[in-house]
């Protein structure tokens, strides 16, 4: 009994070791594929009688048929293994080629982004950064000076024009006030300014006119705490005189 068990274990180990060999495994699969009808009828059809199964075995194991089928099976097995070997090596080759191409492409991309050919030390970077910041400060300072100069020039030109031609300024300002229906609000503001009373708690019309007068430099704040204003000299006083003359005789000035 022990000998039979040893033989069984030895046979199982032999089958297991041969099954791990790709040639034997492929050979068995090819043989089964080539004779699948006989094998299916032999093992899986219950209606097959014992005599029929013996006939199938005799046919498969007859010397002429067996040698012929085995030879063809071995050839097909070698062909299948050769094709598998070629495909495996081809896939490895393609994998290596693509890996190298991608690595080179990625390396070039990284070099392009980081620009490894131009490396600087930390001190060089700090020095360049300081120069950049200093240049930006100087540029901004010069830009602010230029803008202030331009504004001052514009302001001076405007004041010169107003001083050289006060009548034209008075006419334009009066037309603006008249078009906005702010004649009565100007009378109110004029009287309050002349009486040195605060300009506070105005309705919207008076507030609108007050902003216009401040913008045109006709009026100025002389007491911020009490909100007391006065007419500027000469623009404000000139326009008040113009307005008073218009009130006395609008048609004489040619203004409605």
Domain boundaries of the chain, sorted by first residue: 2-102, 165-253
pLDDT beyond 50 at 252: no
Domain 165-253 has CATH 1.10.10: yes
Q: At 222, is the secondary structure helix, strand, or coil? A: strand
Distance of CA 60 to the CA centre of its chain: 72
Residue whose entry in the numeric block shows the structure tokens 């030390």: 121
**Average model confidence (pLDDT) for the chain?**
76
Q: How many CB atoms lie within 10 A of CB 209?
A: 22
Alpha-carbon dihedral 77, 78, 82, 85, rounded to 10 degrees: 70
Ranking 81-85, 142-146, 160-164, 170-174 by mean pLDDT, the lowest is: 160-164
Distance separating alpha carbons of residues 231 and 222, to the nearest angstrom:
10
Q: What are phi and psi of 219, to 5 degrees?
A: -135, 150
- Report pLDDT for 75: 79
In Å, the largest CA–CA distance within the chain is: 148
pTM, full prediction? 0.37
Task: Tell me the per-residue pLDDT of 60-98, one tens digit each, with 9 for 90 and over.
Answer: 666 566 777 777 778 777 787 788 778 888 888 877 777
């Amino acid at each position: 009994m022990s000998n039979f068990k040893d033989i069984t274990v030895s046979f199982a180990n032999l089958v297991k070791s041969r099954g791990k060999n790709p040639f034997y495994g492929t050979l068995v699969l090819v043989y089964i594929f080539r004779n699948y009808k006989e094998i299916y009828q032999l093992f899986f059809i219950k209606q097959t009688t014992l005599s029929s199964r013996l006939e199938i075995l005799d046919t498969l194991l007859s010397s002429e048929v067996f040698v012929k089928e085995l030879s063809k099976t071995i050839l097909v097995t070698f062909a299948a293994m050769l094709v598998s070997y070629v495909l495996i090596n081809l896939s490895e080759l393609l994998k290596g080629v693509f890996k190298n191409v991608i690595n080179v492409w990625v390396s070039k991309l990284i070099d392009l982004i980081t620009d490894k050919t131009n490396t600087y030390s930390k001190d060089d970077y700090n020095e360049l950064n300081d120069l950049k910041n200093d240049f930006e400060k100087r540029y901004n300072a010069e830009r602010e000076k230029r803008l202030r100069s331009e504004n001052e020039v514009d302001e001076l030109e405007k004041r010169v024009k107003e001083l050289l031609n006060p009548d034209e300024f008075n006419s334009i300002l009066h037309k603006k006030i008249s078009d906005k229906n702010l004649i009565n609000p100007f009378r109110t503001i004029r009287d309050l300014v002349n009486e040195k009373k605060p300009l506070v708690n105005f309705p919207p019309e008076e507030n609108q006119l007050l902003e216009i007068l401040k913008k045109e430099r006709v009026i100025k704040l002389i007491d911020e705490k009490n909100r007391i204003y006065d007419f500027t000299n000469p623009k404000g006083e000139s326009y008040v005189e113009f307005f008073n003359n218009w009130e006395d005789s609008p048609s004489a000035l040619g203004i409605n």
